[in-house]
Structure 1
Amino acid sequence: MTTEGYHASAWVTATGGISTIAMDREKAIFPTRIERNLSTESDMDHTKMSCDSWEWNALRWGIFDCIQVLIGVFGIIGNLLVIVVLAKRRGALHSMDILVGALAIADLISSVFIIPVPTSKRIPRTPLGLFFCKMIDSRYFLFHGLRTSSYILMAMGAERYMAVAHPLNHMLVFTSRRSKIAIMLLWLAGILSALFIPFVFVITPQCTCLYRAVPSVVFPIGIFNYLVTVVLPISTLLLTQGLTAYSLHKQRTIAKRAQIQKTDKPTFHIVARNRVIKLMLIVVSTYIICFTPNMTAYFLVNLGVLPITFIWSPLSSSLILLMFLNSCANPIIYTIRYPPFRKALKELFCGATGSPRSGAPLFGHNSESVKSTTIKESVSKANGIKA
């Protein structure tokens, strides 16, 4: 999908009085041309055309389209590497590893459909044409991937909080089986939250795939989109990250009261835990930075705070590309900020074998109970000192 496709869709949302709008790349650039080509139900019914062939709109390779291709290619390669690395450790995956793998799959889907493809100019009224209109021209898979990745990220924040604050309950709740069930439910939530998209795209008698906007539901859909893509994920992530930081602060306070020697070196599991927590903080911050500006801008256009012309501005296109960037950002973050992932990549490409921890979880550790035991020992020491 190009930024132009987003512009056309956003313009319909913002101008809730429009009944039908063509998702034509050329029309998407010029709002006056869109208005001139708008049709009503009666207008479309007066002629019946034979839809027996496909015609495509030509791709216009501008700077934003080229950047989209780069983002899509980097996202495909990076997320595939994450999936392959985790697949090689599938026998010892922790709940966090399973969630990271699911996030990589969702981002992979988004990356594939970020790459610009020709949109339909004429489309046959066949099952294949109907599928293409409702699922490909509508960019359903792209929106589904973006939303699902945000829901999985929410689950990752909750998982880390439980691992830090309630390690014993974490071991019972976030088992491998339950984590997979949770991922299936999150994928279902992503499907349902974007399910309205295929229903608003139709093939007209003129053999074009149109976005049919019902004025009475345009504004509620705009609010719903903002809630499920910005408000809910970001508020949940901020809450879980804040609670995790508070829990870590409490643990440090307990350790300090127990007068644990500062020269004591942290165990391997504590070091690994802290690495994953810092990694999660960076991933969450990147998601907020990438998603919030674009979705908020379109929401403000929908409310009438920003003018309609903002949708066709270079700033709007830049914000869309920033949102797309999140689909390829996580593998880059893992590579730069997480040494175990770099080591796993080296083993993958260099064929290294026999690593003592090659069968261990990559992003999580099954021995979270070690942390719990350490805390309990600290509490016992503190109680002994007070006595």
Structure 2
Amino acid sequence: MAEQATQAFQAIVGIVGICGNGLVCVVIAKNRFMHTLTNAFIFNQALIDLIGSLMTLLLNLVPIPDPIPPGAAWVFLCSVWISDYLQWAPFTASTFNLITLTLERYLAIVFPFRYQALATRKKAIAVLVGVWVAGFLFSSFGIYLRFYEAGEPGESLMRARRNTFKTLLIVCAAFIICWTPNQIFFFLSNLGLKVDFSSPIFYITIGMVALNSCLNPFIYAIKYKQFQKGLKVVFGKRGDRASIATASTGHN
């Protein structure tokens, strides 16, 4: 019963995550004033979470074949599909992207001059791609173990940067809240303690991890002022040029 309830919850979360993160991607892509380095990481975060939400939905809707076919199909199903690799790999990549996003803001605020030299397009692309690679490789390692072991800114600019910082702080807090209970289970298991991975509480922690994939769009919509302006542009409520110009300076 608990497993069925969790599956239903994850399916709903998957749908909301696809819609919410898809909207974030569209808003950032369609508004040139949002084409900044910070928003590139936010776009990457939304894209990763969109894929994670899609996999969460598919893994709950697509039944596992019974009996499982032999040969290469068996290897694929066990190591990629049944293991939930396609779900946990984006979740892991999302974690790495959130770390890089936090570091990017740290460098921009604490070392602004060094940040200008480091924040190049090529380096940003390399980091964004590296986040995906690291997430999928890290999750692959988990499958391997399971398989074989069973300048002085103006006031408006400061306000924009403070808003970005507060938004990302909330994103980090949501991440910690959603992921910590699940990781406590695995931490206790790694310590050798007996952990019931079939308990209702564990299924709830899985649901919380999935929930994290669809929370960020709501956080952006409620807290991130530049994203709010982008939403208005996408949905036809175009503000004056001065407002958009002000928004575009918040992440340089």
TM-score class, shorter: 0.7 to 0.9
Q: 2:115 maps to what in 1?
A: 170
Q: 2:98 maps to what in 1?
A: 153
Deviation, structure 1 residue 352 = 3.4
Shift in alpha-carbon separation, 1:98–1:343, aligned structure 2, 3 A = same
Q: 1:70 maps to what in 2?
A: 12
Q: 1:321 maps to what in 2?
A: 207
Residue type matched to 2:121 in 1? S
Q: 1:17 maps to what in 2?
A: none
Give a deviation string over 1:16-51, Cα, whole Å, max 9, x none: xxxxxxxxxxxxxxxxxxxxxxxxxxxxxxxxxxxx
Deviation, structure 1 residue 323 = 1.4
Deviation, structure 1 residue 320 = 1.4
How many angstroms apart in 1 are the aligned matches of 2:75 and 2:203? Answer: 29
Give a deviation string over 1:135-170, Cα, whole Å, max 9, x none: 222221111101101101111111111111111111
How many angstroms apart in 1 are the aligned matches of 2:184 and 2:83? Answer: 21
In structure 1, which of residues 339, 349, 357 is the aligned counterpart of residue 235 of structure 2? 349
In structure 2, which of residues 136, 158, 176 is the aligned counterpart of residue 270 of structure 1? 158
How many angstroms apart in 1 are the aligned matches of 2:251 and 2:163? Answer: 12
Q: What does residue range 138-217 of structure 1 map to in structure 2 within 5 Å?
A: 138-196=83-141, 199=144, 212-214=147-149
- Larger helix fraction of residues: 2
Instruction: For residue 113 of structure 2, give the secondary structure of its aligned residue in structure 1.
Output: helix
How many angstroms apart in 1 are the aligned matches of 2:249 and 2:143? Answer: 36
Instruction: For residue 194 of structure 1, give the secondary structure of its aligned residue in structure 2.
Output: helix
In structure 2, which of residues 42, 48, 65 is the aligned counterpart of residue 120 of structure 1? 65
Q: What does residue range 284-303 of structure 1 map to in structure 2 within 5 Å?
A: 284-303=172-191
How many angstroms apart in 2 are the aligned matches of 1:63 and 1:363? Answer: 45
**Segment of structure 1 superposing worse, 98-107 or 338-347:** 338-347
Shift in alpha-carbon separation, 1:286–1:108, aligned structure 2, 3 A = same
Instruction: For residue 66 of structure 2, give the secondary structure of its aligned residue in structure 1.
Output: strand
Give a deviation string over 1:257-314, Cα, whole Å, max 9, x none: xxxxxxxxx6211110000011111111111111111111222134243x34x32222
Structure with the bigger RCO (C-alpha within 8 Å, sep 6+) is 2
How many angstroms apart in 2 are the aligned matches of 1:90 and 1:313? Answer: 48
Is the 2:34–2:226 Cα contact (8 Å) retained in structure 1? no
Is the 1:279–1:337 Cα contact (8 Å) retained in structure 2? yes
Deviation, structure 1 residue 184 = 1.1
Deviation, structure 1 residue 79 = 0.5
Is the 1:93–1:176 Cα contact (8 Å) retained in structure 2? no
Residue type matched to 1:141 in 2? L
Is the 2:28–2:34 Cα contact (8 Å) retained in structure 1? no
Residue type matched to 1:342 in 2? Q
Alignment RMSD: 2.7
How many angstroms apart in 2 are the aligned matches of 1:287 and 1:183? Answer: 19
How many angstroms apart in 1 are the aligned matches of 2:10 and 2:251? Answer: 36
Residue type matched to 1:316 in 2? F
Residue type matched to 2:166 in 1? K
Shift in alpha-carbon separation, 1:342–1:122, aligned structure 2, 3 A = same
TM-score, length-normalised on structure 1? 0.58
In structure 1, which of residues 68, 92, 96 is the aligned counterpart of residue 38 of structure 2? 96
How many angstroms apart in 2 are the aligned matches of 1:348 and 1:84? Answer: 8
Shift in alpha-carbon separation, 1:357–1:129, aligned structure 2, 3 A = farther
Deviation, structure 1 residue 130 = 4.5
How many angstroms apart in 2 are the aligned matches of 1:286 and 1:362? Answer: 26
How many residues align? The count is 246
Is the 1:276–1:363 Cα contact (8 Å) retained in structure 2? no
Deviation, structure 1 residue 338 = 1.6
How many angstroms apart in 2 are the aligned matches of 1:280 and 1:194? Answer: 25
Gaps of 5+ in 2: none
Is the 1:97–1:362 Cα contact (8 Å) retained in structure 2? no
How many angstroms apart in 2 are the aligned matches of 1:332 and 1:124? Answer: 42
Q: Highest CA radius of gyration, 1 or 2?
A: 1
Shift in alpha-carbon separation, 1:352–1:361, aligned structure 2, 3 A = closer
